[in-house]
Each structure stands twice: as C-alpha cells, then as structure tokens.
C-alpha cells in the first residue's frame, strides 16, 4: 500500500543505507569531510573515526560504513 502511495507522487522508498551511500556517491570528498568534522565534534564520548564506523555497522549501515572506510 505504501509503495502505491509513493508511486502516485513519483518517489520511491529506499533503505537508509542505500540512501546514505547514494549521497556519499554524489560528492565523496564533501561526505568524507563532513564525516570527519562530525567525528571531531563528537565529545561525549570522544570517539575516533573507526569507532564511529563500527557504530554505523551496529545500526545496520554496513554499506555506508564500508564506503566511508574505503574513502578515509
């Protein structure tokens, strides 16, 4: 039912992981810069890039984490 409603408006549902990898693919340099800035501003707890990537993986964002990891 939801797919039918979305099609009426010319849009398609995507998984969060697919959406995020598509966004990264549009501008990988900007995506990596934004990711690094996000990690740098994370203070409580203070985490490094790889810890944040592991959190993404634990939250079913495996493709996103792997893509960012490959770009780092």
3-state secondary structure the chain: CHHHHHHHCCCCCCCHHHHHHHHHHHCHHHHHHHHHHHHHHCECCECCHHHHHHHHHHCCCHHHHHHHHHHC
Helix 62-71 vs helix 49-58: crossing angle, to nearest 10? 160
Mean per-residue pLDDT over the chain, rounded: 93
Q: Name the residue ranges covered by the structural domains of the chain.
A: 14-71
pLDDT band at 12 (very low <50, low <70, confident <90, very high): confident
pLDDT digits over 21-54, tens only? 999 999 999 999 999 999 999 888 999 999 999 9
Indicate the pTM of the whole model.
Answer: 0.84
First to last CA, the chain: 40
């Amino acid at each position: 039912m939801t797919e039918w409603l979305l099609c009426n408006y010319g849009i398609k549902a995507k998984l969060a992981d697919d959406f995020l990898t598509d966004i990264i693919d549009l501008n990988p340099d900007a995506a990596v810069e934004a990711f690094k800035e996000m990690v740098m501003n994370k203070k409580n707890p203070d985490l490094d890039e790889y810890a944040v990537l592991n959190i993404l993986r634990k939250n079913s964002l495996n493709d996103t984490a792997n893509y960012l990891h490959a770009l780092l």
